[in-house]
Amino acid sequence: MGDLFETGATVAQGRYRIEGLLGGGGMAQVYRAHDERLARTVALKAMRADLPHDPGWTARFRREAQAMAALSHPNVVAVHDTGEEPGPGGGAPVPFIVMELIPGRSLADHLRERGPLPVAEALDLAAQMLAALAAAHARGLVHRDIKPANVLLTGDGTAKVADFGIAATAETGATALTRTGTAIGTPPYMSPEQVEGQRGVDGRSDLYSLGIVLFQMLAGRVPFEADSGYAIGYLHVHAEPPTLASAGIGVPAPVQGLLTTALAKRPEDRFPDAATMRAAALAAARSHPPTDVVRISALAVEPTRPVRAAPPPEGSLQGALRGALRTLGTRPRPSRKTVKFLLLVLSYLLGWLIVSLTFSGGHPPVRVNLALGLAGIACVWFGGANRRRRITGPITLLYELLTAVAWLFHVVAVLISGIYLLAKP
């Protein structure tokens, strides 16, 4: 930033005195400053002066200031002032925004320290963010970058949504950085329509992003993870989101239903607006006590069984059959991998038998046995062992493709052998 916003410097003709750097990113940095005129501490967000001048970035800052200044809501960071400071060495002016200073930290920092949050706390924070979004959407503003880093938490637990830098008007979808077919947002939290660069993105896109944040607050991770933004975008568009149960989190049905609706692929299948989703979040909160996260693996209590009729006498035939079935039911079940392997072995033996009969009871050629064996091994390896691992990115697509090809090859080999057998005179 050079010396423009160094500690002790003043901007806006001496009104704001810089007290130190709070944080920042690739485009802007946020400083702690003192408003000399009103005697209060504020946060001053300024564009990096060392970036190449781009009128689009300046317009983005102005849009953010206008969007946030238009919202007067307890769950939205308040904007006090905006302006431009002459650039160093007579360069292009550097825009800045003066906002209220939140005495706390971001939700991202909170999650890094705490991990999964209690269900009641997560739903309360989600309801507060939805209240902010309802106010923004009522003014035709779509945030389009809802994520934990853009949610600030005060000491009393109030959540405040910040950073409307890429907000768009719902009527036109216009923003300083938007071009047709360009995806705007942060990949792990983008809606499918954002990934595809669709025009006319509305408030339901923010609801999808908030559903991602809620999943992260409950599970300790986002639902879609991959090794590149492109791969994450592909999952947003094509993959079904995992349930909380698959992440080892036990929650009431209304909580999972809330997430399922919010993370629907099509906007028309989500909640119609933020107010409706907030009402659902508050209703789900009433269904769960304010306790810590309950993990499925920690549930030691046997599920409640329905009331049944009195068992038959032990000496009767019916009682003996019931006891035998009960004994069989208590035996350990084989794993899914074992079952898949046995089915594949049986499928291979069936194929080998059909081919053997096709060759008049003689042994089939070695290449037939080899083809069936390789297909079976591929099915076991790709369809059984590796499907249990968490593989992300393009590798996932490769495993899915190999699994499908292996199964198809195996089934086709068996079917062709059967056709030859039936057609043989």
**C-alpha pair distances (Å), 3 with each of 20, 48, 66:** 12, 12, 27
94: helix, strand or coil: strand
Query: Is 200 found in the same domain as 180?
Result: yes
Query: Is 286 found in the same domain as 193?
Result: yes
Query: Is 135 found in the same domain as 56?
Result: no
188 occurs within a structural domain: yes
Query: Is 75 found in the same domain as 114?
Result: no
126 occurs within a structural domain: yes
Give how far the C-alpha of residue 212 lies from the chain's centroid of Cα atoms, to the nearest Å.
Answer: 4
Q: Work out the burial of residue 198: count CB atoms within 10 Å of its CB; fewer than 13 is exposed, 13-18 middle, 19 or more buried.
A: middle
Enzyme catalytic residues: 145
The confidence band for 37, taking pLDDT boundaries of 50, 70 and 90, is very high
Query: Is 293 found in the same domain as 268?
Result: yes
* Per-residue pLDDT reduced to its tens digit, 333-364: 555 556 666 666 666 666 666 666 665 555 55
Amino acid 165: pLDDT: 57
305: DSSP letter? P
- Domain CATH code at residue 40: 3.30.200.20
The confidence band for 79, taking pLDDT boundaries of 50, 70 and 90, is confident
* Per-residue pLDDT reduced to its tens digit, 171-223: 333 333 333 344 567 899 999 999 998 877 899 999 999 999 999 999 999 99
Distance CA 93, CA 401 (A): 53
Range of the domain at 258: 105-297
Largest CA distance in the chain: 102
Nearest-5° Cα angle at 81, 77 to 87: 115
Query: Is 119 found in the same domain as 218?
Result: yes
Query: Is 126 found in the same domain as 20?
Result: no
Query: Is 156 found in the same domain as 121?
Result: yes
Query: Is 188 found in the same domain as 74?
Result: no
Distance CA 189, CA 269 (A): 18
122 occurs within a structural domain: yes
Domain count of the fold of the chain: 3
Query: Is 82 found in the same domain as 29?
Result: yes
Distance CA 195, CA 232 (A): 9
